[in-house]
Amino acid sequence: MDEVALRSLIPGVLGVLVRRGADFAAAEDAVQDALIEALRVWPADPPRDPLGWLVTVAWRRFLDAVRADAARRRREDLIDEEPPPGPVPAVDDTLRLYFLCAHPSLSPSSAVALTLRAVGGLTTRQIAQAYLVPEATMAQRISRAKRTVSGVRFDQPGDVATVLRVLYLVFNEGYSGDVDLAAEAIRLTRQLAAAIDHPEVAGLLALMLLHHARRAGRTAPDGSLVPLAEQDRSRWDTALIAEGVGILQTALSRDRLGEFQAQAAIAALHADAPTAAETDWVQIVEWYDELVRLTGNPIARLNRAVAVGEADGPRAGLAALAALDDTLPRYTAVAAYLHERDGDPERAAGLYADAARRAASLAERDHLNRQAARLNSHRPG
């Protein structure tokens, strides 16, 4: 059994412990202990029944912790040592776990950390490495998050939108440390989609698949960013695209549009174009109109201006841009691009250099500096 298959068992194990009466925080610690034990022991000695093994070990760890705790407090131990026959892990347990770990009382970074550990079955060390913080810091973040939700009933229904925001954050973090967070976000969203029938869950899954499909084309061998229009489309993963498009079409047919379905529709139109020149920008603008209507998000408005520039020409794009706040991230980069297309390389070069200074990521800064350098070196005189 590989590590991913092992981790897919974790929510079920946790659900069993909680339904046997363990409180969430203690159960989660016990499951993490069992997981670390499994990672150590299984390669040499794989169990016949992995789920049963995990439940047994985790329950034993939980009882040990309760006993230690009870001994410390010199109190009678009232926990029944023989667990009632545990019902099989239910789909509902998994769903409740997602809700709890993305509870609105948690800060975004806490919800992300707790979700990756309790639902994803990642170890604290792996999560710390993924987010480039010390393991002790991540351990604290997780235990605080557990304290924050300690008063929340496990069986309380939650808001699926908060779960989706957490999964979106994990996906967007991409790939910086040892753990492929994009792949993990997809796995968790698939698992969620299996537990709840909801068009926006499907929309987010489709969005992730469609972007993940382009991953190989997005960076050059030297690690630099390749803009969408210049990507080698033969490197896109056509199977993932087909799956994403299929999931999206089913979701859209239910006529309950939401922001993730709209974003996925835009990604699908890009994925659908055999070449950048054949992109259906008119339809993309229409989807951005929907997205702006649904969210009012200023970033969606900015991206809409880019799409308008492609559909109706750079002047129209610049007009759409003029209505927006020029302190938005990437505003200057968009202005540079539109001015270049409008035949003003000098102004574009200055704006690219300005945008590079404001870039939030290193790869983006390098890319914008290269754009400025390209225009400056081609200018006559």
- Of the listed pieces 20-28, 54-62, 84-92, 109-117, which binds other proteins according to CB under 8 A? 109-117
Task: Please tell me whether residue 250 binds other proteins under the rule CB under 8 A.
Answer: no
Tokens 């309790």 belong to 118
Judged by CB under 8 A, does residue 228 bind other proteins?
yes
Q: Closest distance between other proteins and the C-beta of residue 43, in Å? A: 31
- Nearest-angstrom CA–CA distance, 317 and 303: 10
Q: Which is nearer to other proteins, 79 or 229 (CB)?
A: 229
222 CB-contact burial (10 Å; exposed 0-12 / middle 13-18 / buried 19+): exposed
* Residue choice 171, 236, 331, 352 for contact with other proteins (CB under 8 A): 171
> Of 142, 179, 193, 251, which one interacts with other proteins (CB under 8 A)?
142
Q: What are phi and psi of 370, to 5 degrees?
A: -65, -40
Q: Which is nearer to other proteins, 8 or 279 (CB)?
A: 279
**Tokens in use for 125?**
């060390």
Contacts with 275 (C-beta within 8 Å, 6 or more apart), sequence order:
233
Distance of closest approach, residue 113 Cβ to other proteins, in angstroms: 8
How far does Cα 317 stand from its chain's mean position?
A: 30
Interatomic CA distance for residues 266 and 311, integer angstroms: 14
**SS3 assignment, position 290:** helix
The distance of closest approach from Cβ of residue 359 to other proteins in the complex, given in angstroms and rounded to an integer, is: 7
Does 32 contact other proteins by CB under 8 A?
A: no
SS3 220: coil
Instruction: Name the minimum Å distance from CB 350 to other proteins.
Output: 22
Residues 6+ positions from 228 with CB-CB distance below 8 Å:
214, 270, 276
Instruction: Choose which of 125, 165, 187, 365 interacts with other proteins (CB under 8 A).
Output: 365
Closer residue to other proteins in complex, CB, 37/272:
272
Binding site for other proteins (CB under 8 A): 107-110, 113, 131-134, 136-142, 144, 168, 171-176, 182, 207, 211-212, 215, 225, 228, 263, 266-267, 270, 303, 306, 330, 359-365
